[in-house]
Structure 1
């Protein structure tokens, strides 16, 4: 189903800029910077050194460590390099700076933490951020993996302009600014809070960072990194390639992250915060004659990021199929201390308009 009508008023369509919380920045420079990165990231590094891109770092077992933006830039000496922007919150994953330095070996690269120099902002809602968007085209695999087909050669933009955030249609631009400064060229934009940015990406169905992609646990296709443009299934060797490519060719994608509406009693949006990792359960609402439609009761979903009655959740596709066809319903158990007969939270999924036709596994 598309965005529920009750949530359309939450979409900000005027020029807006917001700080992006919990971000760190690493500088990767040197004559072999692109070659070095191409061996450790899950997407192909663009042939043009001026091109920005979006990617992911995986562990050897094919699970996600970090999703990251690569901002192409030039050093004060005029040398080309990348500013790697990623989630800075502590997790079970090895710190990214430490991991990258471990892979350097004899490569001619210089890696350093420059987080104290930059703030990260998101901008959206103006004609500038809408100009590069075109109707998405998709390449589908038998496994259920989905890739965007870019008709332009540099979909994420170049160093002379902002990084075009094409993880989802309408996401806008990603901007790096000097620490403490507002980005230049955005003085006429409405400045909003980081919570507004989180709500913005949830409404557009875009997962981000360690809360949505549990480091060392999440699989890249489960986290929608394939149709957000962070994976290349045809490039040469990189860390985590073997399992990722094997899943693409011979496996089945059984889970995805979906945007969800959280409703309490009376069908009103639930404004109280819910903890990340909260279990989402499934109850069947079919009659005995329709028992064949019931999904097998295995596992639960997980609520990831949530704010003001909307969120992102990792769900089994067979359960989503049952819910979308009206045979089951997602819910979260209410507090045990509640005196209400039914204090559970109702969970409703939707699919953003830009999404591909996600295969719903029912076997």
Structure 2
């Protein structure tokens, strides 16, 4: 992260509601086996909390999810983005797969809110990396179970410093609210943007986003060696024979001087040649702005253009229309500190 952005990271203990999330309850004697057949990561039995995703049959992201164990009843609670989208509502999607499996699924959104807590000094397990031979895909390899063992709580290991994620009874505050600063939902959004962590439909448009473009491999949301699951074929083929050409990276948006708090997602980000170095063809394709707040954002960028920008051959910019007037804004990216570097 550029040194000028480091002061934006809240290092004091902070707790905030996570926006746009709902909760499903899934119980039954075959709950672990059932989820293992449809999720992108291995589901352990007895149950443990974890991070994962539902993929489309063609390998695109439908939902990124957190799966919690629950107090007093065998089964799971699933935290997901429930805003309207092109994806089938998650409750209906899961019911399609139930068939004769001994599981029950229901909406539990009226029982729980989702909160995030971060900024304490708790340690994190050591993270190593396993690289695919040629595709650019990397997976975290853990020395111990990374997601924790508490019920209705998950250690958020998508990136170092993300803290914990909590399910709290509807309308209540988590116990941490007595010892942590209480922040807004926007503060949580900025927290994950600064750590380079995409989440939900804005960053992973359902039926459109590819899991590796969305950094699900780097964040521990994909397993390339488990048995068959929905979307596995294309995902594993990409691991062995594909090439990752795009990634979601954090960006800063700068000038003109009057900076709005957020921008519409989906704005095109252009790579503009600077004239430095040898003459080159005009860069192909545009990036896309995703989540943003207070001049910081996440953007899906072409890696060839990212590398050209790091060599000083191009700069990124985007046009924003306000009250019928189009203004051009500069965009600068950085690679998160926690990303692996291939040896």
> TM-score when scaled to structure 1?
0.90
Higher strand share goes to which structure?
2
- Equivalent of 1:351, from 318, 335, 340? 335
Matched, 1:303 2:289: yes
Q: Which residue of 2 aligns with 1:100?
A: 94
Count of residue pairs the alignment pairs up: 341
C-alpha deviation, 1:8, in angstroms: 1.7
Matches within 5 A, 1:36-51: 36-49=34-47, 51=48
C-alpha deviation, 1:42, in angstroms: 0.3
Distance 1:117 1:358, change over 3 A: farther
Q: What CA distance in whole angstroms lies between the structure 2 residues aligned with 1:326 and 1:135?
A: 34
C-alpha deviation, 1:297, in angstroms: 2.4
Matched, 1:13 2:11: yes
C-alpha deviation, 1:126, in angstroms: 1.1
Distance 1:194 1:101, change over 3 A: same
Distance 1:15 1:208, change over 3 A: same
Q: Describe the SS at the equivalent of 2:175.
A: coil
Q: What CA distance in whole angstroms lies between the structure 2 residues aligned with 1:356 and 1:232?
A: 17
Q: Which residue of 2 aligns with 1:270?
A: 259
Which ranges of 4 or more aligned residues in structure 1 deviate by more than 3 Å? 268-272, 334-339
- Contact residue 272 and residue 283 of structure 2 kept, 8 A: no
Q: Which residue of 1 aligns with 2:142?
A: 150
C-alpha deviation, 1:286, in angstroms: 2.2
- Contact residue 56 and residue 66 of structure 1 kept, 8 A: yes
- Contact residue 248 and residue 299 of structure 2 kept, 8 A: yes
Distance 1:90 1:13, change over 3 A: same
Q: Describe the SS at the equivalent of 2:284.
A: coil
Give structure 1 stretches of 5+ with no counterpart: none
Q: Describe the SS at the equivalent of 2:192.
A: helix
- Contact residue 60 and residue 211 of structure 2 kept, 8 A: yes
Distance 1:349 1:135, change over 3 A: farther
Matched, 1:71 2:68: yes
C-alpha RMSD of matched pairs (Å): 1.8
Q: Describe the SS at the equivalent of 1:354.
A: coil
Q: What CA distance in whole angstroms lies between the structure 2 residues aligned with 1:81 and 1:358?
A: 38
Q: Which residue of 2 aligns with 1:290?
A: 278
Q: Which residue of 1 aligns with 2:242?
A: 251
Q: What CA distance in whole angstroms lies between the structure 1 residues aligned with 2:46 and 2:156?
A: 18
Q: Which residue of 2 aligns with 1:280?
A: 269
C-alpha deviation, 1:161, in angstroms: 7.3
